[in-house]
Amino acid sequence: MASFSSYRRPPRSAASVNADIRALWARTRGRLSADERTAYEHLVVEWAAAVRGESRRAA
């Protein structure tokens, strides 16, 4: 039986992740709680991976 972690969702586009980052900042008016900071950090990592993936596909 496969573990839950072995099922990955398809990667989102950099634009989609960026929209979530912008929405987070707008929703919090630039002041992040500890939980929001963690969410932001995860989004930035996801965004960077998406940018790398998109630039590889474009090359």
Residue 24 or residue 58, greater confidence:
24
- Predicted confidence (pLDDT) per residue in 26-47, tens digit: 999 999 999 999 999 999 999 9
Give the domain range for residue 57.
Answer: 32-59
Quick check: is 4 in a domain?
A: no
2, part of any domain: no
Number of domains making up the chain? 1
Q: Of 11, 4, 8, give the one whose Cα is nearest residue 53.
A: 11
- 36 assigned to some structural domain: yes
Query: Does 12 map to a domain?
Result: no
Q: In the chain, where do the E strands start and end?
A: none
Nearest to 44 by CA among 21, 23, 13: 21
Residue 56 CA to residue 52 CA, distance in Å, equals 6
Average pLDDT of the chain? 89
pLDDT reported for residue 10: 79
Reported as a pLDDT band with limits 50, 70 and 90, residue 21 is very high
Domain-located, residue 41: yes
Q: Examine residue 59 and state whether it is found in any structural domain, yes or no.
A: yes
Q: Is the confidence at residue 1, as pLDDT, over 60?
A: no
Measured CA distances, 22 to 1, 3, 5, 15 (Å): 39, 33, 28, 10
